[in-house]
Structure 1
């Protein structure tokens, strides 16, 4: 088994941030036994600007070096971008050629035994009750192209600390960060076939169904509205506060 090495930059960031996150949050992890050996793709839902840090903490707690596909707009920032690149994060560029190159880099990394985290939604949910939206095909594409496992990861709790598209932190009382790791997705129906858009979208729909079901178990309720289609989204509303959702903060 290839030894997993955490980049020095990641270790330094974790040294300073981990104690703060432990002070202001509690952790509820389940399904960690579903994390396989070797390379694979982690596919979490996206709830908050903070949740990549909570996912990274979860990964470090389980000896998994955090490595994400990140938006080029963040990676290209003078200071933050340099830090993220030194932590071996992979930028995703918006152009077709750039996006394809990013996915090729992700496939190569997974084939090399690394773990890559790809948010299938590609952006923070805009569902008023914070349910997963429809997904983009990157996570499924990398898993099928590499032949490596696709692991659904559901998180619930970061939105209670920082609601999507808001700027108000709610650090106290301490929030519980629920993370559930699902079993590897069964992609056998899609393997060995041309990676058409129709096939990729069908597999991605299954992934989003799985994440929604996992969230339903933690929240104790089902979505009451249809899933939002990310392809028809407009810009987020400035007054988007998410008042109409059932809080699960304990």
Structure 2
């Protein structure tokens, strides 16, 4: 089936990233299966994460259908694009329909993208994972693909102004090896293992990141445990 919206959107995004002179470093794309269904699971630190997660699958010529909150689909600009790219709206009060839609897509050979933290992590550390990704992989009989993003928070994240200037921001993408989701194992146990793998990839992406702030004012995007001035997870919870 022709992708009348998705591929032009990818082209527009790549053109924008080139204009912004983003330095995108991707490793592990060979772990994305060339055919068949899979659940792609990433950390969530930016409003643009679905774009960069999708870029991680492009070398394998795969398009990712992301599950996203339904309000994005109701927006006058993003809505038509999200629907045209065949992403999956999630109404948190009636999540069964989105879950069934995702299962059908997985069984038909699609890659479904999931952010199991559900919302952006304002501490830029991993929050707890919901078990939906593991359960979908179990029911559809497909692998889980862990992924980690770093640097995307410097472009556009919650509580910060957008940075769409030509600031040469590096973005690091790491894709891990596929993980099985056995049906005879509890989804919670698979989810814990999956979170651990994403954590390993995130730490690898952070170590590889080529920018080190020159002054204290520019450490807002670095987690507190790494010496930055981002709020701790506890501070985020207290503020919320």
TM-score over 0.5 (shorter chain): yes
- What corresponds to 2:23 in structure 1? 26
Once the two structures are overlaid, the 10-residue window that deviates more, 21-30 or 6-15, is 6-15
- What corresponds to 1:103 in structure 2? 99
Cα distance change on mapping 1:17 and 1:31 into 2, 3 Å: closer
Of 172, 185, 198, the residue aligned with 1:178 is 172
Of 114, 120, 123, the residue aligned with 2:119 is 123
Q: Is the 2:141–2:181 Cα contact (8 Å) retained in structure 1? A: no
Once the two structures are overlaid, the 10-residue window that deviates more, 167-176 or 139-148, is 167-176
Q: Give 1:35 shift.
A: 1.3
Cα distance change on mapping 1:233 and 1:203 into 2, 3 Å: farther
Q: Is the 1:48–1:165 Cα contact (8 Å) retained in structure 2? A: no
Residue ranges of structure 2 left out of the alignment (5+ in a row): 209-222, 227-231
What are the superposed Cα offsets for residues 38-72 of structure 1, whole Å, 9 maximum, x if unpaired?
A: 11110011110122222233333431113100101
Cα distance change on mapping 1:27 and 1:6 into 2, 3 Å: farther
Of 136, 141, 144, the residue aligned with 1:147 is 141
Cα distance change on mapping 1:234 and 1:61 into 2, 3 Å: farther
Residue ranges of structure 1 left out of the alignment (5+ in a row): 194-198, 237-250
Q: How many residues align?
A: 218
Query: 2:11 aligned with 1:10, yes or no?
Result: no
Query: 2:114 aligned with 1:114, yes or no?
Result: no
RMSD across aligned positions (CA): 2.6
Q: Give 1:100 shift.
A: 1.4
Q: Give 1:192 shift.
A: 3.1
Of 160, 163, 178, the residue aligned with 1:166 is 160
